[in-house]
């Protein structure tokens, strides 16, 4: 089926040199409504984007890690309100920055422990250094080598345990390395390395054969090229290759760090298989009761998603796995109950249980996740669905 409004919107972003190429699929539980590849996997070599190309998922890895943790929760291996310090001793006695602190030494004791629920909802008090680059805590994260690819998850949580939290656990929402802590929790509780856990309990049941932390040598010719545009003027036309972001030879060779918050490479078909399983109700990954925690907001009343330097996203909550639309926002093509997220290089997905509708979009522009192509895509999708009487 043709979706001309989507094609026009995406082609405009490619022609405007904002994105190199885009592949996407739109589907219901048991029916693919549209699938298309537009633009280039390698602009300079004029390699057209194909449906078998591979993409750095970045933060769309978080969905996989959260599912792995929820599988262990289903097995009774931990409780959501358990302090994470019971499983990771380095995180047992954390301190918290005082309000208005200008030094990471200006701290107070945590009033309650970081709980596993806090980690899954990004309310633990951790952060990302790059989201607040001038803050003292960002410098501390850099100096502590948090997310260093040459350190494993165990070393990361040891370093994290020596740093203060940004706020009292459960008192605010802040996008963070919390999902990497969840990844270490999965390793500790399961007794397996994260990649092995993923392969056995998520990838194999869904037939996901093109998703990994480092691309095998025989598949590296399928890895789409990474591009970057202007950081200060992101809408300015022009892209340049960024083969070695976020670090040299990233995703092409194994490293100790298995980033549960952002380390996977995947394909359009593989990630669509994951999202389709959730749209269908969770099987074979999660039980219906657990899926309610994936599809419903888990934040306290009045707490919404908010990124540094951006307005509060009123009406957007967070489940134990991703963002959730709690109430419609005028002018935004999101439906109430829609679950969604995105990655740093522009990969996006959503599923809407009430509408039996989902979409997965792949592209590779570093720091491109907030460009207008995604809201344009969502608006165009609604237009095409209306035009097709769907």
Round to whole Å and give the CA distance between 337 and 341. 13
| % of the chain at pLDDT higher than 90 | 94
- Mean pLDDT for 159-177 is 97
Those residues whose C-beta lies under 8 Å from the C-beta of residue 100, and which sit 6 or more positions away, are none
Distance CA 222, CA 103 (A): 46
What pLDDT score does 329 carry? Answer: 73
Fold of the 4-52+224-242+259-387 domain: Beta-lactamase (3.40.710)
**Per-residue pLDDT reduced to its tens digit, 310-340:** 899 999 999 999 999 998 777 777 889 999 9
Angle at which helices 153-160 and 178-190 pack, to 10 degrees?
Answer: 120
What average pLDDT score do residues 187-199 get? 98
Residue 80 pLDDT greater than 90, yes or no: yes
**CB half-sphere exposure, 358, CA atoms < 13 A:** 27
Q: Which tokens in the block code for residue 218?
A: 């025989």
Which H or E run includes 339? strand 339-342
Domain ranges of the chain: 4-52+224-242+259-387
Q: Please report the pLDDT score of residue 2 as a whole number.
A: 85
Report if pTM > 0.85.
Answer: yes
pLDDT, residue 132, reads 77
Q: What is the mean pLDDT of residues 54-79?
A: 98
Asked whether the beta carbons of 345 and 363 are under 8 A apart, the reply is yes
How far CA 144 is from CA of 86, 137, 151, 229, 243, in Å, comes to: 23, 10, 11, 29, 26
Rounded to the nearest integer, the mean pLDDT of the chain is 96
For 343-354, what is the mean pLDDT? 98
Q: How many residues does the chain have?
A: 390
Which pLDDT does position 79 carry in this prediction? 98
pLDDT digit string (tens) for 115-148? 999 999 999 999 998 777 778 999 999 999 999 9
Whether residue 186 is predicted with pLDDT greater than 90 in this model: the reply is yes
Segment 160-185 shows an average pLDDT of 98
Please, which pLDDT band fits residue 1 given cuts at 50, 70 and 90?
Answer: confident
Contact indicator for 298, 117 with CB cutoff of 8 Å? yes
Cβ-in-10-Å burial (0-12, 13-18, 19+) of 323 comes to buried
Q: How far apart are CA 41 and CA 169, in angstroms?
A: 42
Residue with tokens 């399928």: 222
Paired with 323 in beta bridges are 318, 340
Q: Enter the tokens of residue 227.
A: 């591009």
pLDDT at 61: 98
The pLDDT, as a whole number, for residue 334 is 85
Q: What confidence tens digit (pLDDT) does each residue in 275-301 have?
A: 999 999 999 999 999 999 999 999 999
Q: How far is 37 from 16, CA to CA, in rounded Å?
A: 17
Separation of alpha carbons 162 and 145, rounded Å: 12
């Amino acid at each position: 089926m043709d979706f001309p409004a989507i094609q026009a919107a995406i082609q405009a972003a490619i022609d405007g040199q904002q994105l190199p190429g885009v592949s996407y699929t739109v589907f219901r539980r048991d029916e693919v409504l549209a699938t298309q590849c537009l633009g280039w996997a390698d602009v300079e070599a004029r390699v057209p984007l194909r449906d078998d190309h591979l993409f750095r998922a970045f933060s769309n890895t978080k969905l996989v890690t959260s599912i792995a943790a929820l599988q262990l929760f289903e097995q009774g291996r931990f409780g959501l309100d358990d302090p994470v310090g019971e499983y990771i001793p380095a995180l047992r006695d954390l301190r918290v920055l005082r309000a208005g602190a200008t030094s990471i030494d200006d701290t107070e004791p945590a009033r309650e422990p970081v709980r596993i629920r806090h980690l899954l909802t990004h309310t633990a008090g951790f952060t990302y250094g790059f989201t607040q680059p001038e803050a003292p805590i960002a410098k501390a994260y850099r100096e502590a080598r948090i997310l260093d690819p040459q350190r494993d998850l165990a070393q990361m949580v040891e370093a994290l345990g020596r740093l203060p939290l940004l706020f009292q656990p459960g008192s605010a929402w802040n996008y963070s390395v919390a999902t990497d802590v969840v990844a270490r929790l999965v390793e500790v509780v399961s007794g397996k390395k994260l990649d092995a856990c993923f392969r056995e309990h998520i990838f194999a049941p869904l037939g996901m054969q093109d998703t990994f932390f480092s691309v095998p040598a025989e598949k590296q010719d399928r890895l789409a090229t990474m591009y970057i545009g202007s950081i200060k003027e992101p809408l300015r036309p022009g892209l340049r290759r960024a083969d070695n972001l976020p670090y040299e030879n990233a995703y092409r060779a194994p490293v100790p760090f298995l980033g549960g918050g952002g380390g996977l490479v995947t394909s359009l078909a593989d990630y669509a298989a994951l999202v389709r399983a959730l749209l269908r109700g969770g099987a074979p990954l999660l039980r219906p009761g657990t899926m309610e925690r994936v599809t419903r907001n888990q934040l306290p009343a009045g707490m919404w998603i908010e990124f540094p330097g951006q307005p509060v996203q009123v009406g957007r909550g967070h489940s134990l796995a991703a963002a959730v639309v709690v109430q419609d926002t005028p002018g935004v093509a999101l439906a109430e109950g829609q679950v969604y997220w995105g990655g740093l290089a522009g990969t996006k997905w959503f599923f809407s249980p009430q509408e039996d509708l989902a979409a997965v979009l792949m592209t590779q522009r570093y720091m491109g996740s907030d460009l207008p192509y995604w809201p344009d895509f969502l608006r165009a999708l609604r237009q095409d669905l209306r035009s097709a009487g769907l």
